[in-house]
A and B are shown apart, each in its own frame.
Chain A
Amino acid sequence: AQTVTQSQPEMSVQEAETVTLSCTYDTSESDYYLFWYKQPPSRQMILVIRQEAYKQQNATENRFSVNFQKAAKSFSLKISDSQLGDAAMYFCAYRSASGMNYGGSQGNLIFGKGTKLSVKP
């Protein structure tokens, strides 16, 4: 079974600085998707960024970028120019590509336990 591990329960960053959140995962599959979701105090889960495993190029969305190391099974999130609104829980998630078209639980999201990010003014 696949697992997702976020080893940093809490992180802190100064406003306008850069911070990197870590995520590792365990899988025997070669085709999958990885996600970072943000959960602010409102508790709604918001998609930040996603990465297809078959793409070598790291995904980027404005101030958010990932460092995807497939061989190392690592998927870190870098937040540049941190803003007060970035303060939230961040969850890394894995989804197999194999189950998506054929049904079954293989296509469902597997989440890490999250990293709480604080932003200091």
Chain B
Amino acid sequence: DGGITQSPKYLFRKEGQNVTLSCEQNLNHDAMYWYRQDPGQGLRLIYYSQIVNDFQKGDIAEGYSVSREKKESFPLTVTSAQKNPTAFYLCASSIWGKETQYFGPGTRLLVL
């Protein structure tokens, strides 16, 4: 089955720690995206990537980093510089030039 997987489902971060959220897709999509969702809010774009080895900042990139070494993978690192990381993180992908984005199941990040 084609789709987008995210792991882990729940992630706990200690103060000062960097953590990495995984996003993998086997849809052969060119573009991948990371969104953050806070309670009572819509999704806000953190980073996006149109092609391998290229990525761009979204609206709330501070405190986050990404890489795109493979077409299928777009991991997100939440660094210690992100002071309020508790949120639900959603990864999405699309065919570049096509308008519809498809989402993974999400990762819930909590701070200990």
Q: Which of A13-21, A69-77, A110-118 contacts B (4 or more CB under 8 A)?
A: A110-118
Whether A114 touches B42, Cβ cut-off 8 Å, given contacts A44-B105, A97-B99, A100-B99, is yes
A window 26-72: CB within 8 A of B? 33, 35, 37, 42-47, 50, 52
A43 touches B56 (CB 8 A): no
Q: How far is the CB of B70 from chain A (nearest CB, A)?
A: 20
Cα separation A95 to B45 with both chains bound (whole Å): 13
Secondary structure type dominating chain B contacts: loop
Cα separation A117 to B103 with both chains bound (whole Å): 20
Number of A-B residue pairs, CB cutoff 8 Å, is 60
Number of B interface residues at 8 Å Cβ cutoff, please give it. 27
Q: Is B110 among interface residues, defined by CB-CB distance under 8 A?
A: no
Q: Is B12 among interface residues, defined by CB-CB distance under 8 A?
A: no
Residues of chain A whose beta carbon lies under 8 Å from any beta carbon of chain B = 4, 9, 33, 35, 37, 42-47, 50, 52, 91, 93, 95, 97, 100-101, 103-105, 108-109, 111-114
Beyond A97-B99, A109-B43, 19 additional contacts (C-beta under 8 Å) are A4-B42, A9-B40, A35-B100, A37-B103, A43-B88, A43-B105, A44-B106, A50-B99, A91-B42, A101-B97, A103-B50, A104-B56, A105-B56, A105-B59, A108-B45, A108-B48, A109-B33, A114-B40, A114-B41
